[in-house]
Amino acid sequence: MRSTILPPTCKHPMLHTMAENALTHVIREGTSSRTGTPIRILPPMQSQSEHHQPALGNNPRNQGNLQTNESPNKNRLRANIKITSTNLNGTAAPSENMNYLAKWGAISREMYAKKIVVLAVQETYLDQAMTERLQETFKKNLKIIISAHPENPCAKVGVGFVINRQLLEPNKIETYKLIPGKAMILKIKWMKTCTTSILNIYAPNKRSTHPHFWVKTLTKRRSNHLPIPDFTLGDFNVTEEAIDRMPPRLDDGTAVTALKGLKQEWEIRDTWRWANPTELAFMYRAQIHNKRIQARLD
């Protein structure tokens, strides 16, 4: 897992990317081991004119899908904010004897201890009732925004954002669901002059569907006049280079080409790999047919 620091000047964020293990294995319950190691944080390589398109709320077509939370009072000013991403691998943590409420209690404590302001989460597996209970239980400390799978929210995908209200009470929050349960944009105004947009994605496990997934993400963003995100992060379910797998091997060419097409159009790059061209770091680990495999999918 990697965190990103945004400076108060809101200038080029790539210069302020930093590494920090953020959440414990309790939060990453699942059959495969996902530990606190680098994720892909993809900020723009340079400023682009497309960043000056109308904001989320300015297009009437967005109004049915846009969620806005105004917080005019008690805005907590911070010199920087830390953004982190993690795959939750489901609601509970049975190996730690935790139900989903206890697991989210651990998330809340870790976010405060690590001073994480915005946490992007994947594989949440939360339905509306569970989300509302979490929101009520942790409303003092956390702002929880979930985009669930529309048909089977407790068993499939789910992405979301968690804002640490102990560290930041934003002036304004806007969210937009590009693909329910799989792609969601958060736009957060955290100082008078600082607005940051973040795209949280959970790409399909099936590599052959990646081109359609990214085309749909691109199309939804353009058709709704949303700005290119300042950061794109989440679970990409693909590795671009052989070095990102152990044993080393190239991933599915169709899926890799689709991701590279998005990066080229938005002029973004894998910041962690760019800064660490030869380092090995894996967050996905599994035992398949008596063979141990590792990958940097996030």
- Percent over 90 (pLDDT), the chain: 41
Residue 236 DSSP class: -
| 81-95, 101-115, 126-140: the lowest-pLDDT one | 81-95
- Fold observed for domain 2-295: Deoxyribonuclease I; Chain A (3.60.10)
* pLDDT attached to residue 66: 43
Retrieve residue 108's tokens: 């809340």
Say whether pLDDT at 65 is over 50. Answer: no
Residue type for position 75: N
pTM of the model: 0.74
Angle formed at CA 298 by CA 197 and CA 166, multiple of 5 degrees: 50
Residue 52 DSSP class: G
DSSP one-letter string for 174-241: EEEEEETTTEEEEEEEEETTEEEEEEEEE--SSGGGHHHHHHHHHHHHHHTTPPPPSEEEEE----SS
Residue 54 DSSP class: P
For residue 196, give the H/E element and its range.
Answer: strand 194-202
* pLDDT attached to residue 298: 56
- Percent over 70 (pLDDT), the chain: 69
Say whether pLDDT at 214 is over 70. Answer: yes
CA–CA dist 54, 13 (Å, integer): 21
Mean pLDDT of 198-212: 94
CA–CA dist 46, 34 (Å, integer): 32
**Strand pairing of 81-87 and 118-122?**
parallel
CA–CA dist 159, 147 (Å, integer): 5
CA–CA dist 62, 59 (Å, integer): 6
Say whether pLDDT at 40 is over 50. Answer: no
pLDDT in tens, 283-294: 766 667 777 766
Mean pLDDT of 225-242: 87
pLDDT in tens, 145-175: 999 999 999 988 999 999 999 988 877 899 9
Q: Which residues sit opposite 85 in a β-bridge?
A: 120
Better-scored residue on pLDDT, 289 or 22: 289
Retrieve residue 177's tokens: 């669901």
pLDDT in tens, 240-276: 777 787 777 777 789 989 998 888 889 888 877 878 8
Q: Which long-range contacts (CB under 8 A, 24 or more apart) does 45-51 make?
A: 45/14, 45/267, 45/268, 45/269, 46/267, 47/12, 48/228, 48/267, 50/227, 50/228, 51/227, 51/228
Residue type for position 140: K
Q: Of 115, 146, 117, 113, give the one whose Cα is nearest residue 132.
A: 146
Say whether pLDDT at 230 is over 70. Answer: yes
